[in-house]
Amino acid sequence: MGVAIVTGGSRGLGYETARALTDAGHRVVLVAKDPERLSQSAARLNCEYRAVDLGDIDSARTVFQEILETFGTPEILVLAHGVMSEKMSKTLRTTNEEWRRVMAINLDSVFTAINILGAAMAQARNGRIIVYSACLGRMSGPGNAGGLAPYRISKAGVNALVRNLAHETAHGTRGLLVDAICPNHTRTDMGGPDAPLSIEEGADTAIWLATRPFDPAVDKTGFLWEERRIIDW
Ligand SMILES: NC(=O)c1ccc[n+]([C@@H]2O[C@H](COP(=O)([O-])OP(=O)(O)OC[C@H]3O[C@@H](n4cnc5c(N)ncnc54)[C@H](OP(=O)(O)O)[C@@H]3O)[C@@H](O)[C@H]2O)c1
């Protein structure tokens, strides 16, 4: 089993995904911001970790580069970090600071991680990239239907990035699988205690995408997934 990098791996859906990949025998590296929480989570999973503020694009680049040099090209990259925008963050009220904070963490660092680690995976013609998106970022269904503008629009950007990358990497035919997922409303710090899904249920599709057998002749990659099914972007 190869190396798996999991951002947002200190808690919530990222931690649950990392736990499953550790159980499956991968050498897992957790990435998150708070060094204390991260070191405790890494100790529980007996895995490596790197603490970084992914809201700082230069620090993010430095850390992903160091991870690549230290651990080699990963087999699995799960991007599960993210922040919600402030409650009243409508387009006409949001400040520059709030817009930049959410875009930097939710979108810019997804680009940076893929730009560095994904490039090595594409060159190796092997691996899987799974990005936690959100239904609130869809251009269909509940999607971009108003409110929480920085969050929704950052996730719409994530969807566009993943779809574009899937086309750039020829939909799995060159060995790299690239997918986005909607975990749905899950009981994490972000989702809150009243969310309908348990953490295990919320993380199921990402774990499945990271570990499923894949036959390029029949299986699909390069899509947005929910409950193991492809849904409209
Ligand atoms: N929960 C839901 O209902 C739901 C629904 C749809 C989509 N999602 C998406 O699923 C993903 C995981 O969500 P979750 O519910 O597990 O969230 P969570 O419990 O709030 O955990 C967020 C994770 O992101 C990390 N993070 C936040 N800001 C960071 C920064 N500046 N630099 C580095 N790491 C940072 C946190 O690290 P620290 O511990 O160091 O702060 C933590 O590991 C997110 O992308 C979220 O948008 C969640």
pTM of the model: 0.98
Supply the pLDDT for residue 141: 82
Tokens at residue 103, please?
Answer: 């875009």
Q: What is the pLDDT of residue 161?
A: 98
Q: Is the CB of 134 under 6 A from ligand 1?
A: yes
Please tell me which residue, 105 or 143, carries the higher pLDDT value: 105
In the predicted structure, residue 83 carries a pLDDT above the cut 90 = yes
168 lines ligand 1 (CB under 6 A): no
Of the pLDDT bands very low, low, confident and very high (cuts 50, 70, 90), residue 201 is very high
Q: How far is the CA of 163 from the centre of ligand 1 (A)?
A: 21
User: 34 CB contacts (<8 Å, ≥6 apart)?
Assistant: 10, 51
96-135 pLDDT tens trace:
999 999 999 999 999 999 999 999 999 999 999 999 999 9
Average pLDDT of the segment spanning 83-107: 94
DSSP string, 28-72: EEEEES-HHHHHHHHHHHT-EEEE--TTSHHHHHHHHHHHHHHH-
Distance from C-alpha of 223 to C-alpha of 162, rounded to nearest angstrom:
8
Q: What is the overall mean pLDDT for the chain?
A: 97
- In the reported structure, the alpha carbon of residue 28 is separated from the centroid of ligand 1 by a whole-number distance in angstroms of 18
Inter-residue contact 231 to 225 (CB < 8 Å): yes
31-78 residue pLDDT tens: 999 999 999 999 999 999 999 999 999 999 999 999 999 999 999 999
**Confidence at 143, pLDDT banded by 50, 70, 90:** confident
Mean pLDDT of 189-216: 97
In this predicted structure, what is the pLDDT of residue 144? 81
Q: How many helices (H) and strands (E) does the chain have?
A: 8, 8
- In the prediction, which pLDDT does 88 show? 79
Residue-level pLDDT at 142: 78
Q: What's the average model confidence in pLDDT over 193-210? A: 98
- pLDDT of 89 above 90: no
Which residues, other chains included, contact 48 with Cβ-Cβ below 8 Å and sequence gap of 6+?
27, 28, 29, 30, 42, 71
Query: 3-231: what CATH class?
Result: alpha beta
Q: Ligand 1 pocket: which of 33, 57, 58, 189 to mutate (most atoms <8 Å of CB)? A: 33
Residue nearest to atom 42 of ligand 1 (CA): 8
Residue 155, pLDDT above cutoff 90: yes
